[in-house]
Structure 1
Amino acid sequence: MKYRGIYWTLFAPMIKKSIAKRFDRKLADRSIRQGKEEYRRLLSRADDLGPGNPMAANAYFAYAFAAAWLGSGKKISPDEMAHVMIDVLTSPLLRTLFGMIDLNKSPKKWYRSMKKYETWYRERGKEYPVNWVVHFNEGLHRDGSYYYFSRCPICEFCEREGIGELMPALCATDEVMLRLQHGRLHREHTISNGDGICDYWIVGDKVTDEK
């Protein structure tokens, strides 16, 4: 993947603050100092997801956290790193940004976003085959957005790099992010758990009798 420093610049201070709060300043300093190089290294080894890929930001986000974790020398457990991720996602800045989306008012927001990605992949997938493969079943649910992935390049890369144990924490950030968007995520399967698919049924948090 091409290096994009903006993601590290954005997330590193918030990651450092969380680690310092939950552990100590020394570990926080080490995680970020060494994590910066780990971030470059990870991106240099990751598969190119293609220009204009609407999903690429997810990989940059994931690898920023993976880099900080590697920078700590794995002194932070994956479960503890999950709390660091939650701290960052619920920081004032990201809480405000995510909160600008209200899934009660835009219940098909994520369906439309995934359709946009599907169009991109149909046009560019042969050039960049290592990517998400998304599927839809419009008749399965009345409410909200439903789709699932049968391939996840983040999961594949983390497994290849020997850091697959961090994937459950990364997968769990979906629920946090969608909650901040005034939504609920119903999920029964994840690729990282060996299920073969990662499913998303997303509804607004004010929806009752969801179907």
Structure 2
Amino acid sequence: MKMTIMAYVYPIILRGVVKEQLCKYYSKDNMKVLSKKIHNEYRAIIKRSPDIGGRKNLFMGSYLMGAYIIALYKNTKDKLSITELDGIISEGLKNFHYMKKHMSKVDLLSVNYKNKIEQAGKWCKKNKDKYPTNWQVEVKDKENPNLTHIVFTKCGLCFLCKSEGVPEIISSLCVTDYITMSFAKCKLERPTTLGKGSDCCDFYITRL
């Protein structure tokens, strides 16, 4: 995968998201070294990962965030447990004011949002042979105004974690969905996940 402008911008944003939490575990001098290692690892992950369609892919942002979290994990796992990493990610996102503001304006139960996911699913399906490690998704029960039901039968982050040899943090990436959807005043229920060996990720989104 190429290092696009989008790929360059994401680690800059995400470094700011987790910096305050990481400072609880690392000294100022160690943070400088760690930040550089994470950035270099992130770039290496992107460059060795297969293309999934760039900006044409609605899920590209999720992929880049996943790559950064994997780079973070690889460079902190000797010091931090996965539980501590989850705490850093969760607290960082909860203090990520730009994302909170953006998500507060998104109606996850709207027809427009469902259409957006549906169109993304059609694009993914059309290009599944070209991008075999990409997401596959469809929207169910589209006319229900009180529910958004999304089903993923393939997940790009599951492929990424496995290819990077860190399947143990798939669940850490999954947790971010609950947090970001709460910013939109919505609740996510997900009884099945690909990361835990199910056939699909079943997203049931309702209002809080």
TM-score tier after normalising by the smaller chain length: 0.7 to 0.9
Given the two structures, how large is their TM-score scaled by the length of structure 2? 0.87
- 2:51–2:131 CA contact under 8 A, matched in 1: yes
Q: Give the equivalent residue in structure 2 for 1:114.
A: 117
In the alignment, which residue of structure 2 is the partner of 1:186? Answer: 189
- Which has the larger displacement, 70-79 or 149-158? 70-79
Aligned-partner Cα distance in 2 for 1:115–1:140:
13
The separation in 2 between residues aligned to 1:88 and 1:108, in whole angstroms, is 30
Provide, for residues 44-95 of structure 1, a one-character-per-residue CA deviation record: whole Å limited to 9, x for no partner.
Answer: 1212101311111110011111112222254222221111111221122322
1:55 matched to 2:59? The reply is yes
Contact 1:150 1:197 in 2 (8 A): yes
Give 2:73's aligned residue: 69
1:90 to 89, 94, 107: 94
In 2: Cα distance, 1:177 partner to 1:33 partner: 27
User: TM-score by structure 1 length?
Assistant: 0.86
What is the CA distance between 1:160 and its match in structure 2? Answer: 2.1
Matched, 1:127 2:116: no
Distance in structure 2 (CA, Å) of the matches to 1:69 and 1:122: 31
2-structure distance, mates of 1:20, 1:36 = 17
**Could you tell me which residue of structure 2 aligns to residue 208 of structure 1?**
none
Measured in 2, the distance between the counterparts of 1:27 and 1:72 equals: 11
Identity of aligned residues (%): 21
Gaps of 5+ in 2: none
In structure 2, the partner of 1:2 is 2
Contact 2:117 2:139 in 1 (8 A): no
Cα RMSD (Å) of the superposition? 2.1
